Every structure is written in structure tokens, then in C-alpha cells.
Amino acid sequence: MTQSPVRFAILGFGNHAIRRLLPAFPKCDQSTLTGMWRRDHTAALANCAEHKILHCFATREELCSSPDVDVVFITSPDAMHRDDTLLALKHGKAVLCEKPLAMNTAEAEQMNSAAKSAGLLFGVAQNFRYNRSLEWMRKQITAGRIGNPQLARAEYCYPATNSARKWITDATLAYGGPIGDVGVHCIDALRFVLDEDVISVTTLARKDASSGELEAIASLQMEMTGEIFATVTTSARAPYRSYVEVNGSDGVIVAEGGLTVDQPVQVVVRRAGEILETVTIDNADGYARMLDGFASALRGGEDFAATGEDSVHNMRALDAAIKSWKREAANGCRRPINSSR
């Protein structure tokens, strides 16, 4: 007998939900969108009417306590993730939360502990773990196609100055600038394809006139387990680009646009300068696969690829990155290479 789809409700409905999640749900086999809440209820009513969303909840509590909701998908600003998650868990709901998971590691650990204590599924929307391009890269690396990984790089740039998410430059609402917004995707992508973890992070970053107290551009140097050195570069002031590369003892695997879902991605494996294989992979179903992956895990299927527990590791890396930048900024550690001091 065919099971009814798992019913998701979006808490904190906004631009991301309209741009990415609404197009994904119709592609799902096991998931459906049943309701939403946003702070501006007049706007919420208009959204629900336009997109034919069944339940337009008046409060967060109404959404989280509704018998018509199986999963609360939290897409509110970063600073609200902890309270929204704890509220949903209190009402016995499984939770899928947007990244970055929280405002610091302590909050992330609290959220994860609450989910464990309640015996409820808790995941983080690291949707790129469901990108076929990263899955293919991970399989090639695991199979030894490039030998032992030694160096890795991930880049994510985007122009944020005209973003519809006005809160992303507000340090009281956003974890960080591009480090927290998309750098976390880069960190997670490298952890995923390499199946390794971050040991230490050193950060160079700078603000600009539009970024407030947050960074606008950043470069992270990371030491990872497996004796791997990795670099994450991210900018909120450049045209869109994503890139993933891993150099190994016997070859290199490169994905230009490796984190995009908007167009096919070309992944190339090279050895000694020669192309061994080129594949073109479409990630257009990445969000739908993530939603169905969570629904399947809720029903006792395979584990969700981005658990709350695993995402605590991402938060530790983010905290280390921000701490490194602020420590250097406070101490004035950088010196010109021609300085004698």
C-alpha cells in the first residue's frame, strides 16, 4: 500500500523558501508541503494563496503543535534557529533546520541534545550532500582514483549587496557574512567528499562599507584529518561561482560549479596532466532528494546525510574560523613581507 507523503511545514518562510523549496516539493516522492508561518501574517496569507499552501499558521506555536505537520523545516534567520528548534521538539516534531545550524557550537550542542532526549529526528539542510556531483566525487576519492588526498579547495562567491535577505548583514540575526552563509557549505562539502574532519582553522577576512560588523570576503586555511590541507574561499562581493577540487598523490578531481543546482556540472579526473574521465552531472533534483532523504529517515529508512550531530562539527569549524579572524584583527598580526619588525 502506498504511504501518504511526509508533511512538512516551513517556519520562517521567505525568499529561500520561494526560490528553492517551493519548486522542490512537487519533484518529491515522499514529501509534501502542508503549511507555513512567517512573521508578517498579511504577507503569509498572500504567499499561501499564491502558492496554494494549505495551512497558513498564525503563530509558531500553532505550526509546531499542528496534527497536520510531521516535520518542521526551519528557515528563519540564524539567531532564531535554536529557539525555533527547541519549540518544535517540545511539540514532538521532527526538525530539519537550515544552515548555519546556530549562532555558536554551544547552541548547536543544546539543540542536538534536546533532539536526542526527545527521541526525534533532527537534521540540517546541508543540501549539497544530496548533489550528485559531490556524491560522484566522493565515490571516486573513496575508490582511490586520485590516490591519497593531500590538498583540497572549495570556493563559493555570490553578490550579496542586492540580496532579498535583508537580515544577512545584521550581526544580531546572522551568524556571519559569507563564512557562515556559504562558507559552511564549502566546509561541509570537503568534509563530505573526503570523509574527513577539520582539526584547525586560520582565517583572513575583511569587512567593507556594506557588511557592518560581519565579514564580506574571507579565506580559510584548514588542517584536516587524513593529513590533508584545505582552503575555503568565499566572497559576498563577486559574481556567482562555486568550485570544488581535491589533489591526491596520483591525480586530481575538479568540479567547476560543483555546488550549483542551476545548471549541469562538469567533473574532471586528471592524472599527470592527462584527462582520465569527464562526466557531466545534473544537480537539479538536489533539494528534492534532500527532502525525500529526510522523509525516508523519518520512516526508518537510511540515515539522513546531514544529521544534527554531524553538523555540530561544522559549527566548531565556523567558530574556529571566526575566532581566528577576530584574534588576528585584534592583535594586528599581519605584517607586510618587507617589514623588518
For residues 276 and 333, which has the higher predicted lDDT (pLDDT)?
A: 276
* Separation of alpha carbons 214 and 206, rounded Å: 8
Residue 163, pLDDT above cutoff 90: no
For the segment 112-140, what is each residue's pLDDT rounded down to a tens digit?
999 999 999 999 999 999 999 999 999 99
CA distance linking residue 214 with residue 171, whole number of Å: 6
Mean pLDDT along residues 9-32: 97
Complete domains list, the chain, with CATH: 6-127+289-302 (3.40.50.720), 128-284+319-329 (3.30.360.10)
- On the question of pLDDT at 340 being above 90, the answer is no
DSSP class of 307: B
How many CA atoms, within 13 angstroms, populate the side-chain half-sphere of residue 59? 4
Mean pLDDT of the chain: 95
pTM of the predicted model, to two decimals? 0.95
pLDDT tens digit string along 291-312? 999 999 999 999 999 999 999 9
What Å distances lie between residue 79 and 3, 205, 310, CA to CA?
36, 22, 20
